[in-house]
Structure 1
């Protein structure tokens, strides 16, 4: 299994555990709560704390109790397992801000590593937008279609979805689109939209 597939979740949990183990700090004035649906996300920003709820679909197949235990042992203020299977993390505003900064830096670093990775030889370049809701992979089409390099899109999409969720995206923006572009002529010959791709695979 290529390492990029497990990178986003490890990256996310690592940032959570590091950022939230620094202790509480004073926050700024109340910014209000971000709107969200029950099955997508909820980021509530209070006077001092931020609550982030991640949907159950992104924890599918994982040991939720172990995730909660490890998070608490690492210093996260509180982790709540909701009735719908989602998890709510509570942290200070300063911790949330730091977490978002580190998450962005690590996604960018992962993209740069992907460009030169021997594991994904057909991929020559990766571009992305500011919110990580779109990624464009420029590839050698012949090599790409004869390999498993499309798996890289899953790793990028998962990282992008987590970034949006923790940044307070609402249901209308909870999507990541990955474009596959032929380096020889600039043509986009494949497009994948997440989490739609995940839902389709689960239905098969």
Structure 2
């Protein structure tokens, strides 16, 4: 996989962790009535949930996303920003362990990032052939409706890269098997619905590098 995936992952993870940290600090200022009784009940309840693994989420990011990067530094920064634990595996991948609340907030931020990317593509002056963008609920497939004449005389196919990046991140942090995550981007002619081109990530990137 190309190195261009690395920087967005580092930045995105950092932004999400900061956002979660800020939310946590805000929540800590709220009321704490009946502290002794509530704390005791909460402690018992949480202990039970932890034993069942209901409060923690583990996410594994493939080694290819860290190519050329200092993984140890990335792990240290993740822990400093609120991730409970991060471990480098033998295959070079990294497994992050976080609370369920942090993970929920991260997924919300990731979804917003995907939707923002979609809206930017629909309104951008850089990809004028793109008239509409639709997607499925899991962000594994995006369909770009384009003006065929304009599309074939431009580099607007590169728009698929941005969608692939945010789509893959959403899947990986959502728990998709690192060996199975894919994003399919379909380009269709706005006049008749004809499929002009289909790109599957990361498969097509890997094939280009061979």
Tell me, yes or no, whether TM beats 0.5.
yes
- Report which stretch shifted further, 130-139 or 76-85: 76-85
Q: Which has the larger radius of gyration?
A: 2
Matching residue of 2:138: 131
Is 1:174 the counterpart of 2:181 in the alignment?
A: yes
After TM superposition, what 4+ stretches of structure 1 lie above 6 angstroms from structure 2? none
Query: Which of 151, 157, 165 in structure 2 is aligned with 1:144?
Result: 151
Q: In 2, distance between residues paired with 1:110 and 1:7?
A: 17
- Can you give the 5+ residue segments of structure 1 that lack an aligned partner in the other structure? 33-45
Q: 1:161 aligns with which of 153, 165, 168?
A: 168
In 2, Cα distance between the equivalents of 1:16 and 1:148? 34
Is 1:91 the counterpart of 2:92 in the alignment?
no
Provide the C-alpha distance between the structure 2 equivalents of 1:105 and 1:94, rounded to a whole number of angstroms: 17
CA RMSD in angstroms comes to 3.1
Tell me the TM-score normalized by structure 1: 0.78
Number of residue pairs matched by the alignment: 187
**Higher relative contact order, chain-length normalized (CA < 8 Å, sep 6+):** 1
In the alignment, is the contact (CA less than 8 A) between 2:113 and 2:166 conserved in 1? no
Instruction: Name the stretch that deviates more: 76-85 or 13-22.
Output: 13-22
User: Which residues in structure 2 correspond to 1:51-66 (within 5 Å)?
Assistant: 51-66=58-73
Label 1:90 to 1:125 Cα distance change in 2 as closer, same or farther (>3 A): same
